[in-house]
Structure 1
Amino acid sequence: MNKQIALHPDEDIFDLGEEHLAGPSTSEELARALRALWSTFYRNRLLIAAIVAGAMLAGLGLTMLMTPKYKAVSSIQIDQQSANVLGDSSQQSLQQADAWQDTDRFLQTQVDVLQSRALALAVAQDLNLGANDDFVRRMGAKPADKPQGALSLADTKQEQILTILANGLKVDLPRNSRVVAIAFTSPDPRLAARVANTFAADFMMFNMKRKFGSSVYARNFLEGQLSDTRTKLEASERALLDYARGANLLDVSGGIASGTDSTTGSSTPRSLTTSNLVELNDAYAQAQASRVQAQQHWQQAQASSPLQLQEVLTNPAIMQLTQLKAQAQAAYQQDLQRHKPDYPQMQQAAAHIAELDRQINAMADSIRSSIKEQYLTASKQEQALAGQVNGLKSSTQNEQSRSVEYNILKRTVDTNRTMYDSLLQRYSEVSAQAGVAANNISQVDVAEAPAKPVSPRPLINLALATLLGLVAASGFVLLRDKFDDSIRTPEDVPAKLGLTFLNSTPLLEESITPQEALDDPRSALSEAYAALRASIELGHKGGAPRTLSVTSTRQSEGKSTTAYAIARNFAKIGKSVVLIDGDLRKPSLHRLANAHNNKGFSNLLAGIAGFEETLQPTDIPTLSLVSAGPLPPNPAELLSGPRLGNLVADLAKRFDVVVIDAPPVLGLADTILIGSATEATLFVVEANGSHHGHAKAAVRRLASSGITMIGALLSKYDARKIGYGYGYGYNYTYSYSYGDKQDNQNHRKWPW
């Protein structure tokens, strides 16, 4: 006998074709998952409805028990920048340019301030909420009666009030808007309006206080800086004055800068030495220029005749003498025509002309001598001034080395004075602006006592309760289904048992017996077993096995009906079949076949009867029945030994097919012994009746014993009960209902 077990359809014992060996496609897996999900919900529809109804009743009850709450809304407008009262447009434009770049952060900061603990504390103080426990009770809370942690009882009550305010407050800042809604929810509508308006008013006051506080802080800070800077300025001025006195640096410029120091690059006042040097240097330059001019004039006078000098030619006296000389010469020439040169009168005239020449020459020489004298005088003056300048140069150089430190101290004084002037100007501006800046927050709407509560909302609560009920029911059903190991659908057979699914049989109505359904060839049960017979033939190498045992996990799963139906179907196609009732503990085949149970399988095993005595004919000529016979005291002992195998082998020689109805697997050794004597074993599983834990244990037990499993049959399967409808699985009446319009109209489709 072949003891190999085949738990999967892809092992060698099965040859169903490549289309059966190929894995399911993604669409098929999705459809299968959807069917399984729908089946889970459909099977538990009453439970789901009960949970949803309970959730709805609970939601309705909670809604009726909830205290009505009212919400009052006050709105304020928050501008990023307040009006500039002093009219500093340049500063305001700069602030606006910076502000637009940070609008969202600014508005969110204001919202955070609205929700701050400091503002809530200010509201509680303004409304005097801590005076008694009235506010806490009106908000529906229980007043604190004992301190918590390290807090005192008063601090604990204050924290409770602040917590209630924070929980009831809601600040809403719409997108692309500067209007902020301040809402407060309370069981008392008037209290809600008061708290909302107080939050708005205190926030505006809080903002003004912060601005005023900033101005006061700035003014105090500037006062301190002014005092320090003034002290530094006075100290630097004293240090400058002391150094100037110690270095004998006298300022004769009257505070007016005389120029820029080439060494330090700063403007310094002119000292006495420097003033003298400048004046002498100017005089020396003038003397030097005069000397050069006189020298050039003298050199020109030396190079020419005295009478040709410009000074001589333009001299009035010389011009007059020259004129007299010309007149005397003219008269001499006239007289020379009448007299001889030695004439006394002529000699006298000649002497007069000579005298005039002498005078002219003398005066010309005198003018030339005066030019020389001017040159010599200018040269002496230049030399004298040069000596004085050279004498003051050394003094000025010494003074310049001392002026470097003076300039350093002077710059310190200038820096301190500039800083002091800037701080003084800023202090004046801050003092002028303090208390006059406009508030950038203004109230838009004042909260009024609402007329209608905002909660509870019955319809929304009922919808939420329904939704939660659906979620809870779905979760419970899915969790229950996950831990529920019942085998319900054909997909569960290979998934949970690892066996090949051969076919399923429908669940019969209570008024129809299996015998009646099998006698009707048009019944769904007959069609199912006919398909099972075909699956057995196709699923086993070499055709149908010659010997086949049928078993199940427990009783009443339909194994006896299955064994009887398989034998009938093989007999109907012309095969000689013997059906043996191997359940020696609770036999039932003799009732299905309307036969007796006087002698049977137990007699054959005991060797007290032969085949002719135990074989019983049936309504099908090629089908014979061997009933269980008298129940033995120990069936396992009777089945043990080689006699069972020899008996089955002898029957296989006489018949084409031997079908044995074996007892259930769990708790019994009978099935193991019978399965070992047959070529293959068919496992019957009842839909919604067999738990895969028990069924898998049975299959594992058969596998460990080396029994060949041909596959599994899902019995008593009703697709409608699990939500798959009539269209799921095999339509056993298809060949007979073809063309039946009424049946086609009533044919149910997939639920989705």
Structure 2
Amino acid sequence: MNILSELRSPEYVPPRGSLRATTQEDGDTSSVLQDYLRIASRWRWVIIGATATCLLLGIVATLLMTPLYTAKSTIEISREADQVVNFQGAEREVSAADQEFYQTQYGLLRSRTLAERVANELNLVDDQQFFEMFGGPDTPAFELTNGRYAASGRPMRERAAGQILLDNLSVDPARLSRLVEINFTSPDADFSMRVANAWAKNFIQTNLERKVQSTSYGREQLQQQLAEYKDRLDESQRQLVGYASAQEIINLPGQTEGSPDRPIVVDTLAALNQALTSATADRIAAEATFREAGGEGATGQALTNMAINNLRSQRAELAAQYSQMMVRFEPGYPAAAAIQSQIEEIDRAIDREEARVAGALEAEYRQALQREQNLEARVNELKQEYLGLRRRAIQYNIYQQEVDTNQALYDGLLQRFKEIGVAGGVGVNNVAIVDLADTPQAPSSPNLLINLAVSILGGLILGAAMAFALEQLDEGFTDPTEVKRKLGLPLLGSVPKAQEGTPKEALLDPKSELVDGYLSVYTSLGFTTEHGVPRSFAVTSTRPAEGKSTTALALATTLARARRKVILIDGDMRSPSVHQLGGVDHDRGLSNFLTGENDIDSLIFHMDDLGLTAMSAGPIPPNAAELLTGNRLSTLIERLHETYDHVVIDSPPVMGLADALLIASRVDGAIYAVEAHGTRSTHVKTALNRLLGANVRLLGCVLTKFEARKSFYGYGYEYGYGYGREDREGELA
């Protein structure tokens, strides 16, 4: 982000056409790649020097390095061993996509235990030549006694030997395969081969030992658990039987295979419940019959009784005879009376028989009712007994479940114990050696070409880092494009540094590069306002000797050559310089008018060789800023506009002074001169901040004393400034 864009006051309005006023060389912001190329071109010798230094150091280091030899052995690690017996392992199964198993194997290959085992197998723990080869640590464990290491330091030497082997070992899994390369590097080719092969063989041995140890440990643990669960099973069975005996729980086997046992009371209750149902039906039928017997002769039993029917038949006959007699005789007739007596006797017999039938029905009903009540009482007793049994069966089932659980655990452990016993005697391995290491015939390092490439790359990186660091530390303006990027001001033009003579002499030569540069500035200045070049403007800078006076003189000269009436005012009343260009004294000038003198003609002088009029700074006042605080400067500019087309003021520098702010606030705008390759951007930003704080209208920036050879765009600027000059000189010659 541009810093000045944040500091700019709200009242400030960029000059119209300022973007169009920029020259071709700072038209658009450079791309990131162009910035990098510019930095690389500017600091190319730093980058070349750093690269050359690193290259030289790489060559020297390569020649001084000890040749190292790398031996490689290859093994295959299968995720699961070939199964000789059909059983499941004690460890959890690993899915095909699970890489945890292989990462564990790679970690085991680089384990400290395996390294110390290899060191012991190769007798490296007490090998002085081995520790001298790799530079063993300087500790009491490595002190020699009678030309040998002390036995007391063996554990420490074993640890050190294992660490040395690990430091020079690399485990490289082949991508998308089960192959793993074991690489060992040392100064001795034969030693590298022996270590690589020993590492592969010892890894297989440790893998087998680990499985045997795991199986043996598993058998011991399972054996202990079997005894424990056998005791649990026996205890739970005794507890179940004791509880069943105490609570008189008798269960019958299930009716079908696999069905649970059932209590005996269930069958009894079912049978009695069925009998109760039948008794209830009988009681209901007997009760219905008994209720019907409440009316004489109304019951079906009385109607179907043979004795009663015979009596009724006899009565009917006697009644018929009695009716015939009554036709002829009186009721008192003896024969009729006898028949009547027989009828009454038969009626009494029928009543007696019907009473006997009714008594039989009542007795049958009472008997059915008593049977029903007895069965119902027994069923209720069995229900209470069953409910009590259910309550006792809850605890019984708990004991039964415990027995079943212990039995299942015991059976499972027993089966696993048998399987592990079979597995312990098989001895299969999932690691196999594919290729044993051979003695290396050529050193693996140092590699001259690789070291040179790394040195060159490191040198380029170091040089680039140094270039960027120097670029950040260098706050000067090396290219015209940096003006817009760093300051946010339009670049009116860049002016080359005068190589020979004074700036005035260069301005007198229309073919000089200085004139070409300021002509470009003049052209750009014509786009800063609606009416072209501002009628009054000041030229200032950050500090002295940046080319502001030359810029003011050159622009005034360029305007004069464009047939404009121009007056150049030396506004630097602290260190005046315009009078020297005109070869006059500064006894009279700007300070006289500011102190109250109104005769302008007596304060100016003419520079006929440049075609313009000038006003010196006048006598140096005690405090120039006090003279500029009034309205006399504005009055002077207004009066000069009556005679001159343009008023150009050579202003003092901005830093540390208030003169430039007071002068720039009285004119149409200010042009800021920045010395290329010299002025720091932070100082320029501070000065511009002061101008913007005073509501000064900045027309643009002029890059002075620019040397194209120091710029990334040097060729373009050289071409622009010198184009056609040699041809013109040849024609004039």
Q: Tell me if structure 2 keeps the 8 A contact 1:551–1:665.
A: yes
Aligned equivalents of 2:560, 2:425: Cα separation in 1: 113
Deviation at 1:44, TM superposition (A): 1.4
Q: Tell me if structure 2 keeps the 8 A contact 1:527–1:733.
A: no
Equivalent residue in structure 1 for 2:443, among 437, 453, 458: 453
Q: Counterpart in 1 of 2:126?
A: 131
Q: Once the two structures are superposed, what CA deviation does each residue of 1:535-591 show, in whole Å capped at 9, x if it has no partner?
A: 333313544333333222223322222122111111122211222344455554456
Aligned equivalents of 1:234, 1:558: Cα separation in 2: 112
Aligned equivalents of 2:400, 2:551: Cα separation in 1: 122
How is 1:477-496 mapped onto 2 (pairs within 5 angstroms)?
A: 477-496=467-486
Deviation at 1:137, TM superposition (A): 3.0
Q: Is the counterpart of residue 656 in structure 1 residue 645 in structure 2?
A: yes
Q: Counterpart in 2 of 1:200?
A: 200
Deviation at 1:434, TM superposition (A): 2.6
Distance 1:229 1:492, change over 3 A: closer
Deviation at 1:501, TM superposition (A): 2.5
Q: Tell me if structure 1 keeps the 8 A contact 2:518–2:554.
A: yes
Equivalent residue in structure 1 for 2:523, among 534, 546, 551: 534
Distance 1:10 1:58, change over 3 A: farther
Deviation at 1:522, TM superposition (A): 4.4
Q: Counterpart in 2 of 1:686?
A: 675
Q: Is the counterpart of residue 722 in structure 1 residue 720 in structure 2?
A: no
Distance 1:131 1:601, change over 3 A: same
- Across the aligned residues of Structure 1 and Structure 2, the Cα RMSD in angstroms comes to 5.2
Distance 1:32 1:209, change over 3 A: closer
Deviation at 1:196, TM superposition (A): 1.8
Distance 1:244 1:558, change over 3 A: closer
Q: Tell me if structure 1 keeps the 8 A contact 2:21–2:490.
A: no
Deviation at 1:722, TM superposition (A): 2.0
Distance 1:182 1:568, change over 3 A: same
Equivalent residue in structure 2 for 1:636, among 619, 624, 632: 624
Distance 1:422 1:643, change over 3 A: closer
Q: Counterpart in 2 of 1:561?
A: 550
Q: Counterpart in 2 of 1:76?
A: 75
Distance 1:126 1:635, change over 3 A: same
Q: Counterpart in 1 of 2:52?
A: 53
Q: Counterpart in 2 of 1:220?
A: 220
Distance 1:50 1:563, change over 3 A: same
Q: Percent of pairs identical after alignment?
A: 36
Query: What's the TM-score once normalised by structure 1's chain length?
Result: 0.64
Q: Tell me if structure 2 keeps the 8 A contact 1:7–1:500.
A: no
Deviation at 1:203, TM superposition (A): 0.8
Counterpart AA for 1:163: Q
Q: Counterpart in 2 of 1:380?
A: none
Which stretches in structure 1 are left out of the alignment for 5+ residues? 1-5, 249-257, 269-400, 741-752
Q: Is the counterpart of residue 601 in structure 1 residue 555 in structure 2?
A: no
Q: Counterpart in 2 of 1:434?
A: 424
Query: Larger deviation: 188-197 or 517-526?
Result: 517-526
Q: Once the two structures are superposed, what CA deviation does each residue of 1:345-383 show, in whole Å capped at 9, x if it has no partner?
A: xxxxxxxxxxxxxxxxxxxxxxxxxxxxxxxxxxxxxxx
Q: Tell me if structure 2 keeps the 8 A contact 1:719–1:725.
A: yes
Aligned equivalents of 1:137, 1:610: Cα separation in 2: 97
Deviation at 1:414, TM superposition (A): 10
Q: Is the counterpart of residue 571 in structure 1 residue 560 in structure 2?
A: yes
Q: Tell me if structure 1 keeps the 8 A contact 2:625–2:658.
A: no
How is 1:59-138 mapped onto 2 (pairs within 5 angstroms)?
A: 59-85=58-84, 88=86, 91=87, 101=96, 104-131=99-126, 134-138=129-133
Equivalent residue in structure 2 for 1:466, among 451, 456, 462: 456
Q: Tell me if structure 2 keeps the 8 A contact 1:582–1:660.
A: yes
Distance 1:619 1:119, change over 3 A: same
Aligned equivalents of 1:627, 1:706: Cα separation in 2: 27
Q: Once the two structures are superposed, what CA deviation does each residue of 1:451-508 show, in whole Å capped at 9, x if it has no partner?
A: 3222222322222232222223222322332343223333433444444422222334
Equivalent residue in structure 1 for 2:492, among 502, 505, 509: 502
Q: Tell me if structure 2 keeps the 8 A contact 1:580–1:627.
A: yes
Counterpart AA for 2:476: S
Aligned equivalents of 1:139, 1:414: Cα separation in 2: 66
Secondary structure of 1:655 counterpart: coil
Distance 1:425 1:690, change over 3 A: closer
Q: Is the counterpart of residue 168 in structure 1 residue 168 in structure 2?
A: yes
Aligned equivalents of 2:643, 2:397: Cα separation in 1: 139
Deviation at 1:685, TM superposition (A): 0.8
Distance 1:435 1:689, change over 3 A: same
Q: Which has the larger radius of gyration?
A: 1
Secondary structure of 1:455 counterpart: coil
Query: Larger deviation: 568-577 or 644-653?
Result: 644-653
Q: Counterpart in 1 of 2:268?
A: none
Counterpart AA for 2:137: K
Q: Counterpart in 2 of 1:191?
A: 191
Q: Once the two structures are superposed, what CA deviation does each residue of 1:104-135 show, in whole Å capped at 9, x if it has no partner?
A: 44333222221223322322333343336653
Query: Larger deviation: 443-452 or 582-591?
Result: 582-591
Aligned equivalents of 1:407, 1:8: Cα separation in 2: 93
Counterpart AA for 1:57: L
Aligned equivalents of 1:412, 1:649: Cα separation in 2: 117
Counterpart AA for 2:716: G
Aligned equivalents of 1:259, 1:707: Cα separation in 2: 114
Aligned equivalents of 1:538, 1:416: Cα separation in 2: 103
Aligned equivalents of 2:679, 2:493: Cα separation in 1: 16
Q: Once the two structures are superposed, what CA deviation does each residue of 1:416-457 show, in whole Å capped at 9, x if it has no partner?
A: 999878766765554444333332222222223323222222
Distance 1:406 1:671, change over 3 A: closer
Q: Tell me if structure 2 keeps the 8 A contact 1:144–1:160.
A: no
Counterpart AA for 1:180: V
Which stretches in structure 2 are left out of the alignment for 5+ residues? 1-6, 143-151, 263-388, 729-733
Secondary structure of 1:544 counterpart: coil
Aligned equivalents of 2:607, 2:400: Cα separation in 1: 141
Q: Counterpart in 1 of 2:316?
A: none
Q: Tell me if structure 2 keeps the 8 A contact 1:580–1:628.
A: yes
Q: Once the two structures are superposed, what CA deviation does each residue of 1:258-308 show, in whole Å capped at 9, x if it has no partner?
A: 99668995899xxxxxxxxxxxxxxxxxxxxxxxxxxxxxxxxxxxxxxxx
Deviation at 1:724, TM superposition (A): 1.8
Secondary structure of 1:130 counterpart: coil
Query: Larger deviation: 259-268 or 152-161?
Result: 259-268
Secondary structure of 2:526 counterpart: helix
Q: Tell me if structure 1 keeps the 8 A contact 2:588–2:617.
A: yes
Q: Once the two structures are superposed, what CA deviation does each residue of 1:602-640 show, in whole Å capped at 9, x if it has no partner?
A: 7855869963575124135x52244557x6474738955
Counterpart AA for 1:461: N
Distance 1:242 1:518, change over 3 A: closer
Aligned equivalents of 1:260, 1:675: Cα separation in 2: 117
Aligned equivalents of 2:719, 2:216: Cα separation in 1: 92
Q: Tell me if structure 2 keeps the 8 A contact 1:82–1:437.
A: no
Deviation at 1:246, TM superposition (A): 12
